[in-house]
Amino acid sequence: MLDRYAITLIRWPLKQAAKLPDKIGLTANQVTVSGFLIGMLALPAIAMEHYWLGLLFIVLNRIFDGLDGALARRQGITDAGGFLDITLDFLFYSMIPFAFALANPEQNAVAATFLVFSFMGTGSSFLAFAIMASKRNIENPVYKSKSLYYIGGLTEGTETIACLVLFCLFPSYFAEIAWTFGALCWVTTATRVWAGYSTLNARAD
């Protein structure tokens, strides 16, 4: 819901920041993998209840995720890079609830499982439509710089990042936040399924 505004806000600073890695010869894929590995350090940090350290790794991961896109636009967007980026993003997102389940299994495990289940809904509807949109050459009028069709919803990347930050700031309320955000994810899934099916059905041969 907020991604179109967030992207507009951060586009210029990321474009400027991408000049340095481009100058020293780093590729967008190298930045993607580096950001993912840094982000994965949030797993042991959160599991050991070092939530502020976990938050630091989450923020760094998201900075790298924005930087790799800006760098890709300088060097040329590729299907392989887009595939790598989205795959590692989904793995990262699902890792955070798992980390909180490890930190406090008795209090967090069920809520974390529900949230990962909810991520399956948003992720599968997102990727399935992207595949079909590419097959039918359906262009996205909003996110033209993306390597695949970016179907929106109530809980997009910006909202997900805000949720992960809230987990770390208020870890004792993880379950409540996870249940709430998971429910919102199902609203997103329902609207994506309806919009995706309607769009593709209207373009049926």
pLDDT, residue 204, reads: 65
pLDDT in tens, 87-104: 999 999 999 999 999 999
The rounded distance, in Å, linking the Cα atoms of 194 and 188 is: 10
The answer on pLDDT for 141 being more than 50 is no
Higher pLDDT, 84 or 148: 84
Query: Distance between CA 120 and CA 163 in Å, rounded?
Result: 16
Q: Quick check: 193 and 120 in contact, CB under 8 A?
A: no
Mean pLDDT of the chain: 89
For residue 148, give every residue at least 6 positions away whose Cβ sits within 8 Å of its Cβ, in sequence order, or none.
82, 86, 130, 133, 134
pLDDT in tens, 144-182: 555 555 667 788 889 999 999 999 999 999 999 999 999
Q: Which among 62, 61, 40, 28 is positioned nearest to 158, based on CA atoms?
A: 62
pLDDT at residue 17, as a whole number: 87
Model pLDDT, residue 115: 98
Give tens-digit pLDDT for 12-50: 888 898 899 999 999 999 999 999 999 999 999 999 999
Question: Of all residues in the chain, what percent carry a pLDDT higher than 90?
Answer: 65
Burial of 26-38, coded b for 16+ CB within 10 Å and e otherwise, reads bbbbebbbbbbeb
Q: Which of 91, 105, 104, 114 is nearest to 171 (CA)?
A: 104
**164 contacts 58 by C-beta, under 8 angstroms:** yes
176-185 pLDDT, tens digit per residue, is 999 999 999 9
58-73 tens-digit pLDDT: 999 999 999 999 999 9
**Dihedral angle at the C-alpha atoms of 139, 33, 25, 11, nearest 10 degrees?**
40
Distance CA 76, CA 82 (A): 11
Residue 143 has pLDDT above 50, yes or no: no
Domains detected in the chain: 3-202 (1.20.120.1760)
The amino acid at 74: R
